[in-house]
């Protein structure tokens, strides 16, 4: 009887071979998986690179279309670019601006609002939204977006751009009759203004536009420091000084202006009359004071007589003033003592007569205006 037997070593070897085969298979699978991963990643990277390249090409096409004044083509190109690379700030901004160019403001706003959801503090996004809000007359939104743009973190190399944004806001506020807010922004702007002729002239003009003549004068004076003969600065300084009642300073600026525009010719003549006809001017003698006051009384008396002749209805109000002027004139001719109180009382009478005459018989001439300004200058006018 024959039989077979297997040694324990044979069993171990068989199991070892099976394990080795499984490990080898696992290693191959891992290698294939890793290889597949890298191949997939390479393909994805290639696709992303292709997409980026295509998006950049569409963006470039849009730029070329804008340069060729073809905004419709630009919109289509920028749309492709922004779709291919969603969320890209530069592409979305370009798309929105192109939409504005073809008057699709609502679509532009939606694009910008979507971009703002991810970039709420982006200054350019807020600026574009401010412009759209301004165009549709939404003052509250305009102001909010401008402020968001202004107080966003600007790059250090874009300080001048930020300054221009503030100027844009100021012009919007002036245009919408918000002078107080415009003044606050202008004051903030003037504290950080480049010391250049153009800057001082621009800000001086804006201060004049809101009626702050003293700050306007300061800006024009700084402009004249840089360019003493600049005609725009001289004209602006002359107007601002005149508006503040500084006639001596206004005379100096307007005298140096070689070819003043028409309105300043009249202002210059008016300033000269105020300074040469004022009986309360400093550093003139008593005889000169008496002569100037007598001249003012004589002029307004003639005005009252002429107006009474032309306007019978108004004569009832003018004749009593003419009589009062005649009495004061007689007292002065008799050598009445000429004290400041006497001059001020007489100037107040002249001012009342001028205003009554100008109301009954407009218009007034330059000397009439000068006499009323003299009364205002010394606080005796009664508007």
Q: What is the CATH number of the domain that holds 76?
A: 1.25.40
> Residue 308 domain-assigned?
yes
> Residue 112 domain-assigned?
yes
- Tell me the percentage of the chain whose pLDDT exceeds 90: 69
Give the Cα separation of 235 and 224 in Å (integer): 11
> Residue 189 domain-assigned?
no
> Residue 31 domain-assigned?
no
- Tell me the percentage of the chain whose pLDDT exceeds 70: 92
pLDDT (0 to 100) of residue 4: 46
Out of 100, 118, 136, pick the residue that ends a domain.
Answer: 118
Assigned token pair, 122 = 């982006």
- Rounded to the nearest integer, the mean pLDDT of the chain is 89
The predicted model gives 263-281 an average pLDDT of: 96
Q: pLDDT digit string (tens) for 42-101?
A: 555 555 556 677 778 888 988 999 899 999 998 999 898 888 888 788 989 999 999 999
Out of 71, 96, 118, pick the residue that ends a domain.
Answer: 118
**CATH number of the structural domain spanning residue 347:** 1.20.1270
> Residue 227 domain-assigned?
no
> Residue 310 domain-assigned?
yes
Total tally of structural domains belonging to the chain: 2
Out of 85, 118, 151, pick the residue that ends a domain.
Answer: 118
pLDDT (0 to 100) of residue 50: 63
The predicted model gives 286-315 an average pLDDT of: 93
Q: pLDDT digit string (tens) for 352-382?
A: 999 999 999 998 999 999 999 999 999 999 7
Q: Which domain holds residue 324?
A: 286-377
Q: What pTM did the predictor assign?
A: 0.80
> Residue 213 domain-assigned?
no
> Residue 232 domain-assigned?
no
């Amino acid at each position: 009887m024959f039989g077979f037997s297997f040694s324990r070593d044979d069993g171990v070897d068989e199991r070892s071979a099976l394990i080795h085969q499984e490990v080898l298979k696992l290693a191959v699978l891992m290698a294939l998986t890793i290889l597949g991963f890298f191949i997939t990643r390479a393909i994805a990277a290639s696709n992303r690179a292709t997409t980026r390249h295509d998006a950049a090409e569409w963006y470039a096409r849009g730029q070329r279309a804008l340069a060729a004044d073809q905004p419709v083509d630009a919109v289509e190109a920028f749309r492709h670019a922004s779709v291919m690379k969603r969320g890209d700030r530069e592409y979305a901004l370009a798309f929105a601006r192109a939409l504005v160019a073809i008057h699709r403001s609502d679509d532009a706003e939606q694009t910008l609002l979507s971009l703002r959801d991810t970039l709420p503090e982006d200054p350019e996004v807020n600026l574009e939204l401010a412009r759209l809000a301004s165009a549709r007359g939404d003052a509250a939104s305009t102001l909010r977006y401008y402020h968001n743009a202004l107080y966003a973190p600007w790059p250090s190399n874009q300080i001048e751009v930020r300054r221009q944004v503030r100027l844009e806001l100021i012009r919007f506020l002036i245009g919408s009759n918000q002078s107080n807010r415009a003044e606050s922004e202008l004051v903030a702007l003037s504290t950080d203004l480049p010391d250049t002729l153009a800057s001082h002239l621009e800000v001086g003009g804006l201060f004049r536009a809101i009626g702050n003549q003293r700050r306007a004068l300061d800006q024009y004076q700084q402009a004249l420091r840089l360019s003493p003969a600049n005609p725009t600065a001289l004209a602006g300084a002359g107007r601002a000084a005149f508006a503040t009642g500084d006639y001596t300073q206004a005379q100096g600026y307007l005298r140096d202006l070689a070819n003043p525009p028409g309105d300043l010719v009249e202002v210059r003549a008016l300033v000269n009359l105020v300074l040469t006809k004022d009986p309360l001017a400093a550093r003139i003698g008593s005889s000169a004071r008496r002569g100037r006051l007598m001249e003012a009384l004589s002029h307004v008396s003639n005005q009252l007589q002429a107006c009474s002749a032309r306007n019978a209805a108004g004569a009832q109000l003018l004749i009593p003033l003419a009589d009062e002027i005649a009495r004061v004139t007689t007292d002065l001719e008799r050598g009445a003592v000429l004290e400041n109180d006497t001059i001020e009382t007489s100037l107040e009478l002249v001012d009342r007569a001028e205003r009554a005459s100008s109301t009954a018989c407009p218009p007034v001439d330059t000397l009439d205006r000068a006499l009323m300004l003299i009364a205002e200058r010394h606080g005796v006018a009664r508007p």
